Amino acid sequence: MSEEKRLVEQITPMDVDFAQWYTDIVKKAELADYSGVKGCMVIRPYGYAIWENIQRDLDSRFKKLGHENVYMPLFIPESLLQKEKEHVEGFAPECAWVTIGGQTELTERLCVRPTSETLFCEHYKNIIHSYRDLPKLYNQWCNIVRWEKTTRPFLRTSEFLWQEGHTMHETEEEAREETIRMLYVYRDFYAETLAIPAIIGRKTEKEKFAGAVETYTIEPMMHNGVALQGGTSHYFGDGFARAFGITYTDRNNQIRYPFQTSWGVSTRSIGAIIMTHGDDSGLILPPGVAPIQVIIIPVAQHKPGVLEAAAKLRDRLAEKFRVKLDDSDYSAGWKFSQYEMKGVPLRLEIGPRDIENNSCVLVSRPTREKTVVSLDNIEDGVKAALERVHRELYARAEKNLKDKTYDAHSYDEFLDIAKNKPGYIRAMWCGDSSCEDRIKDETDGVKSRCIPFEEEHIANHCVCCGRPAEHMVVWGRQY
């Protein structure tokens, strides 16, 4: 059996076992490894390079809107966490606590941050005094600890990396605008950089973030029809400000409470890339975050001039793209399989015949389509090919989202879809959380994903209880 065939056989087909397929890709593409700490992962260089590209893209978007990066402590005193009752109750089951420092028992427990609202509020109390101090547009890149019972690399881990924006505003209107603006930043990032379409909307009261007035979410669909919460944006009103005593003097010399938001995207987005774009040959990375956008494979590299020509191409393309030349002594076929598995968007092949013809061959990872491109305008050819890869990935994901979204007009129809057709279900809802509980219990975990911004009135009655409907809700199972 050839090396190439063995390489592909190391990945379980997704139709056989989707969960194992996902784990195989994480391991074989060298994105992450398990660690000695339960629920925590080692993010390997290739996986971390993807995260760095995600960081770079999002950070640029944030800074264009005036946000500044800060860093808050890792530990939260218990008394500080207790100041916002609803917030602490929401996170209590997932908190990790430090009770001993060195060899001394602490007089107060310290929570390892599950999120940083309370820390930001403590700081904002010290620095916000006047309307002139507003808005405060802060973001931090950090790690978070939530003691999860069931874990899976990138999707749900006890420790993960993320960014969390925390902003304070003079008026409710400004804060609400910020909340929605950041949700659209996430939507655009997923579409423009990750090539992932998503449904966006508001979470129900039952599913909103602990302590928030309103929570908004971006919900991409994975290849198997399961939802993944891709990012959230929360409007807090002035609840935290009141709890922490954050006040400012307004333009009329009156004492007011500022209005607050928070929003975040995590390393879970890497899981979204894997499960949206990957295939049975491995990972497929969108060009926007691929650590290697173009892999150069010299064909018959032992022949005179081939390696030299490949090196010149690498140096030339490296000015505009993330490029790697593999001049190792593995066979070309092995290299093809290796970089397919690692999801490199574009393969460039060059051999003696190509050199004679002043050309090279570009191979698309999603379609495996080959294109012969003149070396005279190779930069334009590579740029166009990478753009095609992005469009192809987005179109595939969009088709999957459309094909696996169903409308339910009755409860029997809803139950039938939930049992037999993986995907999203659009159905009307009365607004009562008891209907959400019933649906979850009777469908093995189907939950409300969001009330989409683009609602359609598909019936007059709640799909569950038959009472008058208030909203159309997108329902589905989630990671």
Total count of domains within the chain: 3
31 and 144 inside one domain: yes
Q: How many angstroms separate the CA atoms of 288 and 277, rounded?
A: 13
Residue 7 has pLDDT above 80, yes or no: no
Is 365 within the bounds of a domain?
A: yes
Question: Worst-scoring range by mean pLDDT, 3-17, 168-182, 460-474?
Answer: 3-17
300 and 226 inside one domain: no
What stretches of 280-351 show up as alpha helix (H) in DSSP?
306-317, 332-341
Q: Which amino acid is at 424?
A: Y
425 burial class (0-12, 13-18, 19+ CB within 10 angstroms)?
buried
Peptide bond connecting 135 to the previous residue in cis, omega within 30 degrees of 0: yes
What's the pTM? 0.95
Rounded average pLDDT over 32-56:
96
Question: Could you tell me the residue range of the domain that residue 443 belongs to?
Answer: 406-476
- Pairing status of strand 359-364 against strand 294-298: unpaired
Rounded average pLDDT over 98-118:
95
| Cβ(12)–Cβ(20) below 8 Å | yes
372 and 439 inside one domain: no
**pLDDT given for residue 151 in this prediction:** 87
Is 400 within the bounds of a domain?
A: no
273 and 344 inside one domain: no
Is 289 within the bounds of a domain?
A: no
412 and 466 inside one domain: yes
Confidence tier at 4 by pLDDT (50, 70, 90):
very low
Q: What CATH code is carried by the domain that includes residue 339? A: 3.40.50.800
415 and 308 inside one domain: no
Q: List the beta strands (DSSP E) in 302-404.
A: 323-325, 346-350, 359-364, 370-374
268 and 361 inside one domain: no
380 and 411 inside one domain: no
- In tens, the pLDDT along 406-463 reads 999 999 999 999 999 999 999 999 999 999 999 999 999 999 999 999 999 999 999 9
Q: How many angstroms separate the CA atoms of 156 and 365, rounded?
A: 28
SS3 139: strand
Is 282 within the bounds of a domain?
A: no
Residue 98: strand pairing partners = 110
365 and 224 inside one domain: no
Task: Compare 302 and 130 and report the one with higher pLDDT.
Answer: 130
300 and 242 inside one domain: no
- In tens, the pLDDT along 328-350 reads 999 999 999 999 999 999 999 99
CA angle 229, 234, 238 (to 5 degrees): 165
Is 284 within the bounds of a domain?
A: no
Cα torsion through 86, 211, 214, 53, rounded to 10: -140
Q: What CATH code is carried by the domain that includes residue 157? A: 3.30.930.10
Is 285 within the bounds of a domain?
A: no
Confidence tier at 94 by pLDDT (50, 70, 90):
confident
Confidence tier at 93 by pLDDT (50, 70, 90):
confident
- In tens, the pLDDT along 128-154 reads 999 999 999 999 999 999 988 888 999
Percent of the chain with pLDDT over 70: 98
**pLDDT given for residue 349 in this prediction:** 97
Q: How many angstroms separate the CA atoms of 63 and 141, rounded?
A: 13
Q: What CATH code is carried by the domain that includes residue 417? A: 3.30.110.30
Position of tokens 């060195």? Answer: 102
Rounded average pLDDT over 49-57:
98
| Cβ(166)–Cβ(128) below 8 Å | no
413 and 362 inside one domain: no
Confidence tier at 9 by pLDDT (50, 70, 90):
low
b/e burial code for range 27-63 (CB count within 10 A of at least 16 → b): bbbebbeeeeeebbbebeebbbbbbebbbebbeebbe
Of 332, 355, 386, which residue sits at a domain end?
Answer: 386
Is 396 within the bounds of a domain?
A: no
Of 277, 303, 321, which residue sits at a domain end?
Answer: 277
Confidence tier at 84 by pLDDT (50, 70, 90):
confident
372 and 411 inside one domain: no
Is 369 within the bounds of a domain?
A: yes
Of 249, 277, 305, which residue sits at a domain end?
Answer: 277
